[in-house]
Every structure is written in C-alpha cells, then in structure tokens.
Structure 1
Amino acid sequence: MASFMEDLWSSIFTPGPTPTLLVATNVTFAALQALLLSLLVATYSIHFLVLSFLSGALWWSINWFAREVRQFQAEEAEKQKHADKEQVENTENNPDRSMRKTPGAIDATDSDTETEQVAGRKEAAPVPTSAPQSIAASATLQLPETHGEMRKRLSVSGESSGYQSTDSEWEKVDDNHAA
C-alpha cells in the first residue's frame, strides 16, 4: 500500500495518464457509484440517480481520453521509430548527408522566420559620434537649476494650492456656471 501511494504521488507530477493514476481514478469512481447507489436506495431521490449518471459519464470520458492518449503515444513512437530507422539507413548509404544543419540554418532566401532573418543580415557599422554633437546635446538637456533659473509650473485654476481634487474641480465648474 505504501508503494502504491508513493507511485500515485509521483504519477501526479508525471505528464500523461499513468497506470497508477488510472487505477486510483477507477477505484474512486467505483466507490462514488456505490455511495450514490446506496443513497438512491435509502432515499428514493431522483437526484442521486442523476448524479450517478453524471458521475458515470465523467468516469467513461476520463477512461476514453486516457485510451486515446495511449493510442496517440503509440502511433508517435512508431513514427519516431521509422524516422530513426530511415535516418540510420540514409546516413549509411550517403555519408555526405550525415553532416546535418542546425535547425536555424538558412537554406534559401525565401524563408520568413525571424531567426533566419536575423542570422542573414549583415551587421551595420556603428554610427560614429563626434564630440561637438555630444557637447551641444548635453548643453540643451541640462536641468533649469544648473542655469540658475528656477521655473514654477503655472496653475491652471489660478489657485496656489498644489492639492486639487475632483470635488474642487466640480465646485469650480458650478461657480463658473452660476456666474
């Protein structure tokens, strides 16, 4: 029982439907169906019949999905096996083909992928900057404090207070409208 619990815990973090996880799912759904059947017999409530039907449909769909995933994985493994076999045969028959290009290699100019466009471009030479341009730019970008003048932002409303809320703005609109 301890090894089953350890396998179940590790199967949670394993992608795909693992056999341990499927066994736990089937046992859980079987227990749920038994509970719903016993509650149906005890209470004669149609709710338990509906819940049992929904639970059974979910149980079937989980098993169907797991079966489909297993079939897909088997097909992919078979395709990979054939591809590996062909690659080995091609390498043995034609030694020049053993030199494979990397996935980002450029074969033709008609490709539109980003990596191939970046790899195919020639790097532009850096634009030389001259000293007079940088001095002129730094002189125009200095803060006003360095020139000795301090500027104050003009108030839109004419008030000297720095705090303005939406309420005070509406009061100003009301005052202007009344005047």
Structure 2
Amino acid sequence: MSSFFVELWEGIFTPGPTPTILKATNITFAALQVVLLSLLFATYSVHFVVLSVLCGGLWWSINWFARELRIAQAAEEMKNKNKQLDERKKGEASGSSDTEVEGRVTRRSARNKKSSAAAAAAAGDVEPVEKKGEVKQRPLTESVSSVSTEDEWERVSENERERK
C-alpha cells in the first residue's frame, strides 16, 4: 500500500497521466459517487441526483481525455520512429563515402564527418572565431575575496572619468 502512495507522489511530478494517478482518480470518483448515492437515499433530494450526474460526466471526461492523450502519444512515438528510420536510410544512401586509408576501405557517413570536424576544432587544428560583443571576464589583479562592491564602483567611476 505504501508503494502506491510513493508512486502516486512521483506520478504528480511526471508529465502526462500516469496509471497510478488514473487509478487514484477513479477510486476518488467512485467514492464520491457512493457518498452522493448514500446522501440521495438519506435525504431524497434531487440535488444529489444532479451532483451525481455532474460527477459521472466529469469522471467520464477525465478518462476519455487520458485515453485520447495516450493514443496521441503512441502516434507521436510511431511518427518519431519512422522519421528516425527515414533519416538513417537517407544517411546511408546519400551521406556515405568510401575512402581508402593505408590499404583498407572505411565508410564515413555525413554524421561522422561532422563529428570529426568538431573533434578537429576541439583538438586545436582550427582556431575558433571570436564573436563580437561577447562578454569577457577581465583578469583580476587582486584575489577574488578581497574585491568588494565599493572597489568595483570606484573602478567604474574611474573608467567613466577616463572616457571623458
């Protein structure tokens, strides 16, 4: 029983309707229907009939929405799987080339070419282009702990005086 509550708590923070949340919702609505039915027999008031109909409609709509969401998620997963398969087929058909290196033939796809270019840039073969307007950290002459906000304001005001 405690694992149900743990799963319910974790399900609250999981996007989409989880089976545990749907089970708790159905149990709650069933209990509400029992209470409304018992109040109807105790009081013979038409209000409890109306409340029971409203409760049943909300209960049905929540389950309908969860079912439709599950169907839409399954369709999206199938769409993504088909897209990935199509990309793989296109990559194998058009993005590969045969190269011969020291007597052996290797196949490199377009994806591998991009990753090797990124690896070469990271290795230092290619210099990165410095972007304009990028914020640079200026070197500190003092230790970081000795710098206070007053010192920073003094530096700012000195820089403004120098510019004028």
Richer in strand (by share): 2
- Moved >6 Å (runs of 4+): none
- Give the Å deviation of 1:91: 1.1
Correspondence for 1:40? 40
**1:80/1:38 CA distance change after superposition, 3 Å:** same
Correspondence for 1:164? none
- Whole-Å separation in 2 of the counterparts to 1:24 and 1:86: 41
Correspondence for 2:53? 53
Correspondence for 2:27? 27
- Whole-Å separation in 2 of the counterparts to 1:16 and 1:23: 14
- Whole-Å separation in 2 of the counterparts to 1:52 and 1:83: 46
Structure 2 gaps of 5+ residues are 97-108, 115-130, 134-159
Letter of the structure 2 residue corresponding to residue 54 of structure 1: L
Structure 1 gaps of 5+ residues are 102-121, 125-133, 139-179
- Give the Å deviation of 1:94: 1.4
- Give the Å deviation of 1:71: 0.6
- Whole-Å separation in 2 of the counterparts to 1:60 and 1:18: 17
2:110 equivalent to 1:98? yes
Correspondence for 1:2? 2
- Whole-Å separation in 2 of the counterparts to 1:95 and 1:67: 41
Helix, strand or coil: the match of 2:17? coil
Correspondence for 1:80? 80
Letter of the structure 2 residue corresponding to residue 41 of structure 1: F
Q: Percent identity?
A: 56
- Whole-Å separation in 1 of the counterparts to 2:66 and 2:48: 27
Letter of the structure 2 residue corresponding to residue 24 of structure 1: A
- Whole-Å separation in 1 of the counterparts to 2:132 and 2:82: 42
- Whole-Å separation in 1 of the counterparts to 2:132 and 2:70: 49
**1:10/1:123 CA distance change after superposition, 3 Å:** closer
Letter of the structure 2 residue corresponding to residue 52 of structure 1: S
Residue deviations 1:117-172 (CA, integer Å, cap 9, x gap): xxxxx969xxxxxxxxx98x95xxxxxxxxxxxxxxxxxxxxxxxxxxxxxxxxxx
TM-score (norm 1): 0.55
- Give the Å deviation of 1:51: 0.6
- Give the Å deviation of 1:95: 1.8
Helix, strand or coil: the match of 2:75? helix
Letter of the structure 2 residue corresponding to residue 11 of structure 1: G
Correspondence for 2:89? 89
- Whole-Å separation in 1 of the counterparts to 2:37 and 2:74: 37
TM-score (norm 2): 0.60
2:40 equivalent to 1:64? no
- Whole-Å separation in 1 of the counterparts to 2:80 and 2:9: 30
Correspondence for 2:137? none
Q: Cα RMSD over matched residues?
A: 2.3
Correspondence for 2:105? none
